[in-house]
């Protein structure tokens, strides 16, 4: 596959350099490591800092959600690779305003290991930390093992809610509790139509025969739960929405926020075709859509496909989603 890159080994750093040059009013590097980005006004004295992080290749996920009302900083790894514990620690120090730091990231082994190490280092510097991991991918584990699920696009809801809570001055314990509450009420499932191509090697993240789809595919190409002939948009939406409704135990009268997310190579027009069917299903069941998002929120380079996320909302969760926020890739006014 053709890619618009220079030296493959420089891909991540040149991408970060581009973000910094394009958005100097929103983000900055606080030190010499370009893999550590923080919001331009960090640290905010007396406010909880929110740190995320993970591998590159998922924009706007991770680095795209650093800004007012969202995350305070991010530690950035290579494509599909965790940032180092030292990078996470440096980011922790850079966003610490004296009220502690919440670690909010996806549930992947390397990230968990390195964030835990960084938390130990932060403790030595008297920086209190708490951790909440996104774990919304219902295809990765059954409901009874939901704490082991992968974190995918639904972590956006946690960024939004926790970021709003930190912005209004909540304590670390309160911000962490809000993030955990949102994670607990979020579910996501996706469909893959074609693989990612790694920029450093040219290798595919997985193999999928022409004319087939995979339901439940992970954002790194992790195996899904069903592979078969490509179905219509309505049939795909039916599969995904049925699983999400069951997982969240949604019934008539419930309210949800809906995120229809493109994985990198899916036209926006197709995402709206999916959203059309999601809307039909939910309204037909008397489940209200309180907030909706359609676009690319968590990608996998040029993977074709999409995911659908639901957050079951109440008045408190919805108010946090509606709070102002601004980052290089997202704005809520």
* 304 in Cβ contact with 264 (< 8 Å): yes
For 8-183, the fitting CATH number among 3.30.230.80, 3.30.70.100, 3.40.710.10, 3.40.50.10440 is: 3.40.50.10440
Mean pLDDT within 50-58:
97
Percent of the chain clearing pLDDT 70 (strictly above): 100
Where is average pLDDT lowest: 182-186, 205-209, 260-264? 205-209
At 84-124, the pLDDT tens digits run 999 999 999 999 999 999 999 999 999 999 999 999 999 99
Give the model's confidence band at 252: pLDDT under 50 very low, under 70 low, under 90 confident, else very high.
very high
**Length of the chain counted residue by residue:** 333
Output the average pLDDT for the chain.
97
* 61 in Cβ contact with 10 (< 8 Å): no
Can you tell me which residue has the tokens 């059954």? 142
How much is the pTM?
Answer: 0.98
CA distance 105 to 119: 13
Whether residue 169 has pLDDT greater than 80: yes
- Can you give the pLDDT at residue 59? 97
Mean pLDDT within 121-144:
97
Whether residue 142 has pLDDT greater than 80: yes
Architecture of the domain spanning 186-321? 2-Layer Sandwich (3.30)
- Can you give the pLDDT at residue 200? 86
- Can you give the pLDDT at residue 213? 98
Annotated active-site positions, please? 58, 220
Whether residue 1 has pLDDT greater than 80: no
* R_g of the chain computed on alpha carbons: 19
**CA 171 to the chain's CA centroid:** 23
Whether residue 256 has pLDDT greater than 80: yes
Indicate the domain borders of the chain. Answer: 8-183, 186-321
* 97 in Cβ contact with 44 (< 8 Å): yes
| Secondary structure of residue 232 in the 3-state scheme | coil
At 188-229, the pLDDT tens digits run 999 999 999 999 888 999 999 999 999 999 999 999 999 999
């Amino acid at each position: 596959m053709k890619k618009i890159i220079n030296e493959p080994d420089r891909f991540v750093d040149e991408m970060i350099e581009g973000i910094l040059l394009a958005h100097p009013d929103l983000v900055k590097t606080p030190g010499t490591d370009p893999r550590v980005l923080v919001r331009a006004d960090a640290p905010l004295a007396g406010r909880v800092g929110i740190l995320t992080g993970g591998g590159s290749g998922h924009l706007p996920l991770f680095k795209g959600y650093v800004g007012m009302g969202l995350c305070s900083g991010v530690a950035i790894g290579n494509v599909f690779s965790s940032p180092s514990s030292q990078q996470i620690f440096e980011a922790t120090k850079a966003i610490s305003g004296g009220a502690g730091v919440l670690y909010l990231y996806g549930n992947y082994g390397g990230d968990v290991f390195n964030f835990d190490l960084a938390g130990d280092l932060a403790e030595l510097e008297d920086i209190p930390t708490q951790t909440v991991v996104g774990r919304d991918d219902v295809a990765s584990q059954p409901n009874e093992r939901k704490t082991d699920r992968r974190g995918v696009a639904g972590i956006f809801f946690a960024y939004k809610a926790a970021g709003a809570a930190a912005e209004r001055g909540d304590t670390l314990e309160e911000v962490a509790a809000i993030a955990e509450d949102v994670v607990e009420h979020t579910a996501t499932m996706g469909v893959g139509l074609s693989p990612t191509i790694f920029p450093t090697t040219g290798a595919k993240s997985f193999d999928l025969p022409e004319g087939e789809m995979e339901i439940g595919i992970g954002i790194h190409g992790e195996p899904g739960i069903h592979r078969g002939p490509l179905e219509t948009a309505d049939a795909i939406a039916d599969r995904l929405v049925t699983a999400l409704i069951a997982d969240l135990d949604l019934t008539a009268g419930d309210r949800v926020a809906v995120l229809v997310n493109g994985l990198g190579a899916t036209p926006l027009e197709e995402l709206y075709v999916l959203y059309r069917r999601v809307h039909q299903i939910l309204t037909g069941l008397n489940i209200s859509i309180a907030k909706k998002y359609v676009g690319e929120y968590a990608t996998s380079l040029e993977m074709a496909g999409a995911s659908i996320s639901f957050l079951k909302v109440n008045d408190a969760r919805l108010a946090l989603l509606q709070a102002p926020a601004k980052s290089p890739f997202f704005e809520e006014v």
